[in-house]
Chains A and B, each alone.
Chain A
Amino acid sequence: AQSVSQHNHHVILSEAASLELGCNYSYGGTVNLFWYVQYPGQHLQLLLKYFSGDPLVKGIKGFEAEFIKSKFSFNLRKPSVQWSDTAEYFCAVNVYPIKAAGNKLTFGGGTRVLVKP
């Protein structure tokens, strides 16, 4: 079974600092990769996703992630964070191709990011 690990549980940084959140997965086959974000008091929202093609994926709000297959990684980055980026970030993976049994996501434990104004 696949697993996902996020290395940082908590990150605190100041506005305009750069952000990088690590995500590694364990599965030897083809995967789809996702980053979800949960702002305080809100539900999980899709930030970006990788299915195939260019391994550098751009998402909403200036976020991007790079899929490095050889490292089983899908790290999230943002060059300059804002106070409004304070949230919890989750990396998730599912196995491709889809089988009849489902397309369940396996999530990492999440990283809480606090951006100080």
Chain B
Amino acid sequence: GAGVSQTPSNKVTEKGKYVELRCDPISGHTALYWYRQSLGQGPEFLIYFQGTGAADDSGLPNDRFFAVRPEGSVSTLKIQRTERGDSAVYLCASSDLTSGGAETQYFGPGTRLLVL
């Protein structure tokens, strides 16, 4: 079946602009995560959705970052007033949260954001 998809694959924007990054999780997966991967580093957690609600947004760096998942499927990560330091690969992952805690996250290809 189809995996996690993310669009766009690449996004170039200018400092101060607004961007939206989209994630389509695996069908039926209730849990959705956003991570950010800066050059030379491992992915860092941003936000977690269980269904439609953001159950944990402790990783969002500041209030310029916001994410939604209005129907419990597709999610959009929104970044206002972009800064050069926001340049990174933004990864989305989804999982089918099973009982007992044995959860595996499946990652999408990421959106590479470059802020000029």
Q: Is A106 within 8 A of B56, CB to CB?
A: no
Q: Is B43 within 8 A of A104, CB to CB?
A: no
Q: Is B50 an interface residue (CB 8 A)?
A: yes
Q: Is A107 within 8 A of B48, CB to CB?
A: no
Q: How far is the CA of A61 from the CA of B33 in the complex (A)?
A: 27
Q: How far is the CA of A97 from the CA of B104 in the complex (A)?
A: 14
Chain B: interface residue count, which band? 20 to 34
Instruction: Known contacts A100-B55, A103-B31, A107-B42; decide if A43 and B110 are in contact (CB<8 Å).
Output: yes
- List residues 76-117 of chain A with CB under 8 A from any CB of chain B: 90, 92, 94, 96-98, 100-110
Q: Which one of A4, A32, A42, A101 contacts B103 once the chains associate, using CB atoms below 8 Å?
A: A32
Q: Is B43 within 8 A of A107, CB to CB?
A: yes
Q: Is A44 an interface residue (CB 8 A)?
A: yes
Q: How far is the CA of A107 from the CA of B45 in the complex (A)?
A: 9
**Inside 8 A of A49's CB, which chain B residues have their CB?**
104
Q: How far is the CA of A34 from the CA of B45 in the complex (A)?
A: 15
Nearest-neighbor residue (CB-CB) of A52 within chain B:
B102
